[in-house]
Amino acid sequence: MRIAVAKPEVFKACAIGLGYFAFASLTIAWTRFDGGVAQIWVAAALLTAQLVRTDFRHWREPLIACSIASFMATGLFGLGWIAAGPLVAVNIGESFIAAALLRHLGMRQDYLNSLGNVGLFAICAGAVAPAITGIGGAITAALVTGLPIGQLWTSWFAGHALGMMVFAPMMTLMLQGEVFAWARKLTPRGRAEAAVLIGIMAFTSFLVFSQERLPLLFLPMLPLTIITFRLDRVGAALSIIMLVMISGMYTAAGHGPVNLIQGTSSIHSLFLQLYLAVTVMTVLPVAAELKQRKDIYRRLRESEMRYKLITESATDIVLELNTRGVIRYVSPSVREITGFSPDALIGKRPHALMSGPDARTFIAAHRQVRQSPGATTIIEYRGMDAAGELKWFEANNRGIFDDEGVLIGSVSAIRDISHRKSLEMRLAHAASTDSLTGLGNRRAFDALLDRILENRRSGEKGGCVAIFDLDFFKHINDLHGHAIGDRVLQTFATTALRIVRSHDYVGRLGGEEFGIILEGVDIEQATRICDRLRSAVAQEITRTPTGVAVTVTASAGIAAIHASQSRQQIMMAADQALYAAKAAGRDRLATAA
């Protein structure tokens, strides 16, 4: 035979029900004045705390347990068995409404973690729920006691709102296990401090409410505020409960500064409720704000530790500047990359990391990110290291702004890209250089001619372009082989570099065709230079491995560089002049018309 085992939810519900019965019975027995309703209602706080943190599917068990507890407490100690039934719906309905509203607003675990959530808790659990259920409670109590409904509703609302505001936070913290976690976390010194502060709070509360000569109700605020700052929200909740219990005990016995007010015990009770409600609404928001700030500080500290770990192990330089452009942090990697000491750079402007021909580029980039929240600029610049060596660096720069968009600094991630730049330069040189002769290729030749044309349009002096072609070069390849042909091309390149001026440019356009850019000359000057080259080429000898002397002649076409013409037009003019020179018998020059 199988034995049914009760679910954990049932055990929890029974425990909540017993607690509900105990709180309801005690508050009914101790806080009913003038035959009315209880002046503080703690039981609803317990049920609300449980429902808020429980999935809706498991609400049934605690609702049933607390319904039975409410019925028994009212019947045994309150308004009797006749009122017990209707008040079950009213009392349980209060917790149901409060918990449903809080869960609907997203506060399913902790409604004490921010100032806004405390406000919503006060509205939902401390105002809306007791105000609605107070109507049914006042009507039921009026039918039994004969007291005015308005008076009963006021007492009901004040007592239930106060009970919810004072006790729900502590019960929520207890059910979440935060109270026990807080106690375990305390060091011996922390426990001693907590005992002293709570002892001071108890002594102050007894001092204030055990006498009725002076209105010293303001005195408990000082230790309560200190406890809120030093012992977190758990300590604040404990102190509030202590204040409520001590003040309620003395007020119920007819003692305390509240008795300085002329009126009945109900008036005294309402004033005390107002005083405690104001105290609670003063302390709870402060505790919530402190909790939120401590969480932010904890996350910030964790983030700082991660940031420190990353920056200290990173191969890039992490550089942080303040609003005045002064270094306030530089990662240890700066020593390995630049040779500078991190400590020596703190408090200085980053000129040591940006000195070089591109210093202004670095400074301009930082000025740009200071004006652009969220934008990241990436620059490449040349800078000197501690040994005076010029290196290439890449910097990712970003401004640091606060929530109001005010600049509070900037940060850069800097890496050494000298190796990459060297590779890029080698590749760029290879892409623009003829591998056989070492001269510039057609791409480099065209790019230089385009720049000269731009300068010519800006008013600078122009020059001329000459295209040289080796005569009967195919015959040399056919007779002696391509290896000798390549040596002939190299001989021409060497001769051309020797004959032309140092600032002239010689490039191989393709095959046996070469181009020369002669800057700042007219056609006559260019003709003289090219004729010297033609004569020198004809006198050069290239020998084969067997000692055979190979000579070659060259023809050339010359065209002036005009700003009104395009590169293609200039090259076509020089090419047509070259054809004319070849048609006239080769080994000669021709100029474009």
**Cα gap 268→255, rounded to integer Å:** 10
CA-to-CA separations, 349 to 117, 219, 328, 379, in angstroms, rounded: 45, 53, 9, 19
- Say which of 61, 178, 512, 519 is annotated catalytic: 512
Alpha-carbon distances of 532 from 168, 499, 556, rounded to whole Å: 105, 7, 12
- Over residues 549-576, the mean pLDDT reads 93
**What is the C-alpha to C-alpha distance for residues 439 and 212, in angstroms, rounded to an integer?**
108
Q: How far is 535 from 334, CA to CA, in rounded Å? A: 59
pLDDT digit string, tens, across residues 75-96 = 999 889 999 999 999 999 999 9
Please say whether the dihedral angle defined by the alpha carbons of residues 572, 578, 584 and 585, taken in this order, is positive or negative.
Answer: negative
User: What's the pLDDT band for 4 if we cut at 50, 70, 90?
Assistant: very low
pLDDT the model gives residue 504: 92
| pLDDT tens track for 418-440 | 888 888 777 777 788 898 998 99
pLDDT score of 5 more than 50: no
Whether pLDDT at 486 is above 70 = yes
Residue 306 pLDDT exceeds 80: no
Could you write out the three-class secondary structure of 325-341?
CCEEEECCHHHHHHCCC
CB atoms under 10 Å from CB of 285, counted, come to 18
| Angle subtended by helix axes 442-457 and 567-583, to nearest 10 | 120
Structural contact between residues 391 and 385, judged by C-beta atoms closer than 8 angstroms: yes
Q: How far apart are CA 73 and CA 91, in angstroms?
A: 11
Amino acid at 356: G
Can you read off the two tokens belonging to residue 531? 């004729």
Average the pLDDT over 551-576 and give the result.
93
Q: How far apart are CA 450 and CA 555, in angstroms?
A: 25
| The length of the chain, given as a count of residues | 593
How confident is the model at residue 1, as a pLDDT?
42
Q: What is the pLDDT of residues 115-162, one digit of tens each?
A: 788 888 889 999 999 999 999 999 999 999 888 999 899 989 988 998
Predicted confidence band of residue 573 (pLDDT cuts 50, 70, 90): very high
- Collapsing DSSP to helix, strand or coil, 454 comes out as helix
DSSP assigned state of 57: G
- Whether this prediction's pTM lies above 0.85 is answered by no
Active site residue 61: no
How confident is the model over 524-546, as pLDDT tens digits?
Answer: 999 999 999 999 999 999 988 88
Give me the mean pLDDT over the 541-552 stretch.
90
Q: Tens digits of per-residue pLDDT, 319-358?
A: 888 888 888 888 888 888 888 888 888 888 876 666 667 7
Share of the chain above pLDDT 90, in %: 42
Q: Is the pLDDT of residue 22 over 60?
A: yes
